[in-house]
Structure 1
Amino acid sequence: MPALGGRGPSYRERVADALRAALIAGELRPGEVHSAPALAARFGVSATPVREAMLDLAKEGLVDTVPNKGFRVTAVSERQLDEYTHIRSLIEIPTTAELAGTADPVALRALRPVAEEIVASARAGDLIAYVEADLRFHLGLLALAGNDHLVEVVRDLRRRSRLYGLTALAEQGRLEASAEEHLEMLDALLARDTEAVRAAMTRHLGHVRGLWAGP
């Protein structure tokens, strides 16, 4: 888990974002209990912002507080993961396909560095960076549809997800191929190929669900 330096009003939010990414990537597993001081040592920060961030995650249902011990990572059932995938499919596939005919090419090209960051993170085996860049890419893409509420719904679904299969995929050398699907989607969008976008997004979400699995 990378160290987080610096201060400022967004410091607590940055710690919370990194913790969410660690949860989603499966680096913090269901049932594990973590104390704020122990997590702070992994982040290279003081315990206070970690404790505050974990309280934020508790409100989101990602962890439970354990008196005098810290925080326990909550589990996600297979049924919940299926439901999350179904809702994401209903939202993201048609929305992304529509962008093939409406999105500003300049705005689409601006997402290419983020897609390349996903690939670079996959190549390096940095799962937390992969999850964070993947979130920025997909939410940035959906934001081009101009519906802020839709973006927040997908953000919440992604926060509740788990990608325990990322570690195995990285160890097998297959994570980079999955990451490159983001570049494929961008190319199809820039080519104004609605059906290619729809097919790429459908396949991508299918791969994602394959990674959403219980411990």
Structure 2
Amino acid sequence: MKQGVQGSTGTPRTVRVPAQAHPAEVRAGTARTRDAAVPGVRGEHLHDEGPGARGRPVVQRSSVRGQVLDALRTALVTGELRPGEVYSGPGLGERFGVSATPVREAMQQLALEGAVEVVPNRGFRVVERGLRELAELAEVRALIEVPVLLRLAHTVPADRWAGLRPLARETVRAASSGCPAEYAEADRALHRAMLSLSGNEQLVRCAEDLHRRSQWPLVGSPARPGRADLAADAAEHTALLDALAAGELERARELVRRHFGGAG
């Protein structure tokens, strides 16, 4: 996207995550969740119930932590977790319907990514970011992605680019939804797929980290990208892949540079 998703002033919406089984249930081997979609939270052992099942234990704690992390990332992109605000593990855990432990673990991951910072004895503060940091992220992303994509334009067969069109169409669909978080995910997926054609996994990880950080909200700015802004960004994806699939290198070069003219 050409600009980061900016924060809102509303309070965070409730995001339901499958709740944890009571410890006594875990010890008794009868742990259940209130949401059957994700069995076995908090690391309890679940057993197959079919005929002849051997009851192989399955640890599912990481799935809860992952769902909480996804929910927190979505709340960051939409501005529901506001820059400068401090959020406690127990408070968010109650909101999500889980204990504070997976929330704290997810927040620690976000702290490593630079999205939040630890506030001793209080919780985690959402980092305040301004236009300068967004511009710096845009510059670094362009320095990494533009030359890589231009090199790949000369070496990757046209059919490989054409194979990425469904991801480009997904960005168009997500843009039409008007949901910043939905578009942010589709946008990252397409950029990740394009850069993956380089075969350089370290480059892909570095670029995606920068991309994700560029989508966090800005402090003191309630506006969000509208459908028109998202649609324009998505249209550039489609045009770029069309040019690459057609072998129109000059057109592709122009579109790559245009797409990264702001924040990439």
Query: What TM-score do you get using the length of structure 2 for normalisation?
Result: 0.67
Alignment partner, residue 253 of structure 2 = 198
Shift of residue 122 of structure 1? 1.5
Matches of residues 1-215 of structure 1 in structure 2 within 5 Å? 3=16, 6=38, 8=60, 9-40=62-93, 47-162=100-215, 164=217, 168-170=224-226, 173-208=228-263
- Residue identity in the other structure for 2:252: V
Of the structure 1 ranges 22-31 and 142-151, higher mean CA displacement relative to structure 2 is found in: 22-31
Tell me by how many angstroms 1:43 deviates: 5.0
Name the aligned partner's letter for residue 225 of structure 2: L
Greater Rg over alpha carbons, structure: 2
SS state of the match for residue 66, structure 2?
helix
SS in 2 for 1:208: coil
Deviations 1:159-207 (A, max 9, x none): 332454895332x643222222211111111112222222212222224
CA 1:191–1:27 in structure 2 vs 1: closer, same or farther (change >3 Å)?
A: farther
Cα contact 2:137–2:263 (8 A) shared by 1 = no
Q: Is the 8 Å Cα contact of residues 25 and 131 (structure 1) preserved in structure 2?
A: no
Query: 8 Å contact 1:58–1:64 — kept in the other structure?
Result: yes
14-23 vs 61-70, which deviates more?
A: 14-23
Do the aligned partners of 1:24 and 1:162 also contact (CA within 8 Å) in 2?
yes
Q: What do residues 94-137 of structure 1 show as CA deviations (whole Å, max 9, x unaligned)?
A: 21122222224443333222222222122112211111111111
Aligned residues: 208
User: % of aligned pairs identical?
Assistant: 46
Question: Which structure 1 segments of 5+ residues have no match?
Answer: 210-215
Is this contact kept in 2: 1:4–1:43, CA < 8 A?
A: yes
- 2:86/2:124 contact within 8 Å kept: yes
Q: What does the per-residue CA deviation read over 1:57-101, in whole Å, with 9 as the maximum and x for residues that have no partner?
A: 112221012244321101224333222211211111121122222
Secondary structure at 2:160 match in 1: helix
Aligned AA (1:13): G
Deviation of 1:20 (Å): 3.0
CA distance in 2, matches of 1:46, 1:173: 40
Amino acid in structure 1 at the alignment position of 2:183: Y
Which has more helix, going by share of residues? 1
Q: Aligned in 2, Cα 1:166/1:77: closer, same or farther, shift over 3 Å?
A: closer
Conserved? CA contact 1:114–1:137, under 8 Å = yes
CA distance in 2, matches of 1:166, 1:107: 40
CA displacement at 1:31 relative to structure 2: 0.4
Contact kept, 8 Å, 1:188 with 1:196, in 2: the verdict is yes
Alpha-carbon contact 2:64-2:102 (below 8 Å) kept: yes
How far is 1:11 from its partner?
Answer: 4.3
- 1:212 equivalent in structure 2: none
Kindly provide the amino acid, as one letter, of the partner of residue 160 in structure 1.
R
For 1:198 and 1:42, how far apart are their aligned partners in 2?
47
Q: Do 2:158 and 2:247's aligned partners in 1 also have CA atoms closer than 8 Å? A: no
Contact 2:184 2:215 in 1 (8 A): no
Shift of 1:54: 0.7
172-181 or 127-136, larger mean C-alpha shift: 172-181
